[in-house]
């Protein structure tokens, strides 16, 4: 998620100072849903879009798809305005809550989507068979959707987003409603799509999935991008802070008091011992305490944030101030 050079191909997806304000209620009060979001996704990359409920993720995604007109700023796909039909034809979209006519079957849904994309009948038939197999619905191909669970409908939504073999996939909560096996299958599918050179832009509340599947992230809070970049940069080890994992057969009060007395130390119990985070300058004091207490120092390294810690620090820690 780096700024393109003048001679480089344009990003497959780009927002520049995007803003969107809605008018609500009898007095048409202005309520900002998106205040200022700028980001870019290069071809072949995957970007995780994070934020608390109401942070503006879905609204900005709709601006990207040309479904909502921004109040200010720009949304582009493949270097063209998001409203350009040629650009949108190269995008596969999965909404947060996909809705289909419940009297249709998965086969009929995919065939209909193929018609919208202008695919020939033979190509529609082939893609329908392929994709129902990919999402594990081949045995339910001719059952009406009215009897489907939320997870099965989510699989139909994923399949319809792939009908035209798009270059860019924009998925809003793709793992929502899936059981553990379904989640694994979709994660494996996303890895395969990356291997094929597809670009992925998706939102999720499951930070572990984002960390495992994405090159970069953008964290949104109250309509503002509060952190963004490649994960390798955002989560790089901090040379000023260290983390130690200690084994303890019994967490004695004396040992815990000694560890908590270390300068600026944060001590957390684990199932097999304790985890200590402290300034790197205090590592020598930690080693002396470990030797004096007869503890087992199993690991000592520069501390690396998890995506959850980054998210909580950048979004949740901003406090209860409302966007409106």
- Please name the residues in contact with 226: beta carbons below 8 A apart, sequence gap of 6 or more: 219, 220, 314, 315, 318
CA dist., res. 289 & res. 274, Å (int)? 14
Dump the DSSP string for 308-319.
HHHHHHHTGGG-
Sheet holding 296-303, edge to edge: 266-270, 273-279, 238-247, 296-303
Nearest residue to 178 (alpha-carbon basis) of 169, 168, 189, 194: 189
Helix (H) or strand (E) holding 95: none
What pLDDT does residue 322 have?
Answer: 40
DSSP letter at 99 equals: -
> How many other C-beta atoms can be found within 10 angstroms of the C-beta atom of residue 195?
8
What pLDDT does residue 251 have?
Answer: 59
DSSP letter at 9 equals: P
What pLDDT does residue 319 have?
Answer: 54
* Residue whose structure tokens are 């520069």: 302
pLDDT along the chain (324 residues), means of 10: 60 96 93 95 95 92 94 96 94 92 97 96 97 94 94 95 97 89 90 94 89 92 92 74 78 82 88 85 90 87 78 68 41
Query: Global pTM?
Result: 0.79
What pLDDT does residue 216 have?
Answer: 94
Residue ranges and CATH numbers for the domains of the chain are 13-234 (3.40.50.300), 238-303 (3.30.70)
């Amino acid at each position: 998620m780096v700024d393109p050079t003048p001679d480089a191909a344009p990003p497959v997806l780009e927002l520049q100072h995007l803003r969107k304000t809605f008018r609500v209620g009898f007095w048409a009060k202005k309520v900002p849903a998106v205040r200022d979001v700028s980001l870019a996704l290069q071809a072949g990359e995957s970007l995780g879009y994070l934020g608390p409920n109401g942070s503006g993720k879905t609204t900005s995604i709709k601006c990207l798809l040309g479904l909502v007109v921004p109040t200010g700023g720009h949304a582009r796909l493949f270097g063209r305005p998001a409203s350009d039909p040629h650009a949108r034809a190269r995008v596969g979209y999965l909404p947060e809550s996909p809705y289909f006519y419940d009297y249709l079957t998965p086969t009929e849904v995919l065939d209909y989507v193929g018609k919208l994309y202008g695919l020939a009948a033979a190509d529609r038939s082939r893609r329908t068979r392929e994709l129902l197999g990919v999402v594990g619905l081949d045995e339910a191909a001719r059952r009406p959707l009215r009897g489907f669970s939320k997870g099965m409908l989510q699989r139909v939504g994923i399949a319809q987003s792939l009908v035209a073999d798009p270059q860019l996939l924009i998925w809003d909560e793709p793992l929502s409603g899936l059981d553990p096996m379904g989640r694994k299958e979709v994660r494996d599918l996303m890895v395969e799509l990356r291997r094929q050179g597809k670009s992925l832009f998706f939102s999720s509340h499951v930070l572990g999935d984002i960390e495992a599947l994405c090159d970069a992230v953008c964290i949104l809070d109250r309509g503002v991008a509060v952190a963004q970049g490649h994960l390798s940069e955002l989560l790089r080890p901090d040379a000023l802070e260290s983390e130690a994992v200690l084994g303890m057969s019994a967490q004695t009060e004396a040992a815990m008091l000694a560890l908590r007395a270390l300068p600026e130390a944060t001590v957390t119990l684990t199932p097999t011992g304790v985890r200590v985070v402290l300034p790197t300058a205090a590592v020598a004091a930690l080693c002396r305490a470990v030797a004096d207490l007869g503890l087992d120092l199993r690991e000592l390294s520069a501390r690396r944030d998890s995506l959850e810690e980054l998210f909580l620090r950048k979004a949740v820690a901003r406090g209860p101030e409302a966007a409106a």
